[in-house]
Every structure is written in C-alpha cells, then in structure tokens.
Structure 1
C-alpha cells in the first residue's frame, strides 16, 4: 500500500482503540499520519480545528473522536452532541475549505433495531437514544457539507487491544466466575478494530485517488450473532467450556438508554469502491485474540454454528459502542 499524496493523514481521537490500530496500519504502510488526541485537537472548538489544519495541512482526515458513553448521553445530550454532532460539522467545514476528504466513523445506533434483514447503507435512520441522535447529527453534517468527499463509515460492536471491550471483559470474567449470564436477544456483528482500521486505510487511499464514491459505508464484520453467541465463541476459542455461558434476556438489565435489538448491517456499498467487505467475525476473532494477548486455543468455525441459525438469538457485560 502506497500513499498517492505526501501530506499526512490527520487522525482525530488518537487515544482510542480504533485510532491506535489505524495509526499502526498507516505506519506499516508508510503513510504519514498526525495522531491528534483531545489535548492536541478539540473537535468541538472551531479555533482548535483551524489551528490543527493550519499546522499540519493534511491530505485527508479520519475522525475517530467520539463520546461513546451511551447511558451518560441520556443525562448529558448536549455534551454528546458537542462531540458527536458539532465536532464532525466543524471538521467537515474545515475539510471543505481545504478541499480534502473526510472519513467519519459512525455507528449502528442510528437505527432503531426493529428490522430482521441487514440494514442497507441507504436504510431509513431512527435512533432510539441520545447517543444515536448525536451520531446521526454528525453523519448528516458530513454528508451535507461534503457531498462529493465525505465518507461515513458505520461500525458496530467494536473490540480491540487498546481499550475496554466486550472481549476483554469476557476473558477477565471467565477467570473469575464459574458461569456468565449473557443476553441472547440482541443481534449484531462483532468487529475487530484491526479489521476496521484496514478498511479505513483502504477507503482513504481510494478517496484520495478519486476511485471511491462518497457517502455511507458499513464497516462491520460479516456474519451475525448475539452477545450470548459471541461470548460462547470467545470461550471456545480460548479453550474454556462454552456451556459455562448461559442465555438470558435484555430486560433483566434495564439501563437508561434503550439499545437496538438488531444491529446487523449490509455491506454492498464496498463494491462501488472496489473493495471487499470485512471478513467473518469468527475468523477475525481468531486473529484478534493473539493480538490482544490471548489464545486462540482452537480455530474458528465459520459454518453451521447455532448462533447463526433461525430467528434472532446483549449482555450484562456488553460494552458501549466505540464510535
């Protein structure tokens, strides 16, 4: 992978686990990048955004900055909107003035979860909570201000080595508890930050080359499962007994913000950019676990698993999204 533009990429939210993996991917590919954490670039402050663009003159911006505390957003919706809505608008305005693309990371939480088919990229949005509303405001700002050079990449159920995640929590609890009760009535696509970083790097290069149409893409893994099914597969791959994971329902763990029960995204748009979608979530998990310092003890099984069959199968230990 080679960069067609010698100017650096500007990566916001550089302290987060997705941005860390993306910066590593860019470094491996020989692409110069500026890692801008909140101290270096406050996306909610117009002066801070202008100063960063003047100092670094980026070729492209990848916005990984977000406020992802879903329940906290119910009590501080204005704070969530400042980071997730106003921040992308300021970045999009600066990108428009500079004539450069913006890749903005968003979330499955812009949907209400009432469907039972994978959401296509152009599906109607209807967020259930303040967090989803704030992320949708950011999406709309990017698409409005950058109709020809704005890229919204929705992801779901992120996990990685650089922060807290469902996978890390499960592995810790497996050592401490004889059994885990995990909800089986919320469906989604566990997505490794390493895979999403690879996808963002590829899309960014194509955006700079003018070969990827602007608009919405879905950056989540292939396949689908529930938090219960995901937890069982984590147990299996690290050599623990999956039967120690017991199913329960989300109504046992009422939280301030409602969560969508169906977060399965469709991936057809990648073909327009000349890219393949992200691989199956089980295959990715088998590579992610060693990268996170764990196993795997056994290889993944990508067909015939109970979690993939029938009508839809959330967890007491499920994490908030990371986008």
Structure 2
C-alpha cells in the first residue's frame, strides 16, 4: 500500500487470502511450539499455564499495538509460556534445548533479514540503473503484486502456527488429546482467524512498518517482500518460529540502507530493537504473575 502498487482494499484482500492459504498448509512450527518449550504431557495445572500465557501475550501485544510499535507476538508467546510454566513447575520444567533453539532462531532471523534485504536491493539497483524511473516503477509495481502475496503467504506459514501450537497444548493439558499432531479443525479455525485479523488491519503497525522506518519505493518494497518471504519460508522449513514483524521490519532496514544509510529512520529502528530485546523477559515475568493469580482463582 505504501508504494501504491495496490489499493488498500486490494492489498488487504490479497494478504487475507494468502495468509489463510499459508496457515492451512503448514504445521511444523506448531508442533515445535507444542513440545519444544515445555513438555505438555508433564505440565501440572496446565490449563492455568496456557491461560496465563495467553493473557500475558495478548496484554503485551495490545500495549505495543496501542503505541504503534512493531512488537513480536512470537517473543511474547514464547516468553509468556516459559514464565507461566516455570511458575507452575520450577526452572527444570523447561525443555532448554528446544527453548534455546527457538530463541536462537528469533534472534538470528532479523539479522539475516537485514543482510538479505541489503543484498537484494543492491541487485535491483544494478539491474535497473539504466531504466527510466517511470519504467522502473511500473515494472516494480507489477512485481510487487506477486511479492506482496508471497510475503503474506509466508506470514501464514509461520505466524499462524504459533496459535495452532498453543491450542494443541491446551487440548493435551486438558486431557482431550494424546499426541502433538495439530487437528485439522484447529488449522481451519486459526487460518480463518488469521485471514479475518488481516482483513480488519493493524493500521498503526502498517503505518510504522510502511513509512516510519524508511521511505519505500516500488523497487525497495519488492526487495523487502522477497527478503522477508525467503527468511520466513526458510525458518518454516526448519520448523522454527520467527517474529514475522521483526523479519519484515529488518528487511525494510536492509533495503533502506542499500539505498542510502541515512534514509533509514534509526530512531524508529531503535524503538523496534528495544522492544525486541525486552519482550521476552518482561512477558516471562508477566506470564508467571498471571499464572500465580489464576492458580489462586482456579
């Protein structure tokens, strides 16, 4: 939308449909969330842990949404589950190998996104340098219709999986399921919710990502789309969750730096990075606190 390749209505419709398809076709990340942070089969007072984690993550996401900060729901969810689980069963309850593998992916993916975004934009600049600006914009807007859909599809393959994972955990801890496989009805429900949420639109976040990091052109927008889609698809193939928000934001920083380093609004970037750093520990504390309250009430 920022690059005017698509109208807002068309962009949201494409994004909603692509998110639905991506969410429906993959489940590897969901299984990682279900079993690699904590063993749901050995979790005591599991219902309170899951509910506490969800309340904590939702509360954090609402705060960052209100201030228009592209926060990571992935960091929030992982932190909240970890904090609530530790409050329920002590520090030994975590699957530390799986947990640190997830955290490592969350940390590395934005760094890779900056590098890939930078390199792709440099390739675009070399390829398009002899074309008149109006021809470049026309071709890149056509390309971005494809790349934006690809990015949205990749978003569904990873972001939706986290919700599927925690819903599957809820079924296991409540005694309704005896395996970590994601039921098909959960896939449909989460895919539909993903599409609906996309169609409603998070306009504050869209404005920050689309215009407050760097000024996007059709070429840089397409480069950022390709970069973030490649990173998200790669980590989805590894069955690792990433913060799609931070991957996309980092890709935009990378393409902006490739055009002109000072064109990136590094003040906004610092706010994003700061939120990225503090989300995991703060949501862990919040998840533990909410669990303690719920365990008294339930």
Q: Same fold (TM over 0.5)?
A: no
The structure richer in helix per residue is 2
Compare relative contact order (CA 8 Å, sep 6+) and give the higher one, 1 or 2. Answer: 2
Normalising by structure 2, what TM-score?
A: 0.25
The structure richer in strand per residue is 1
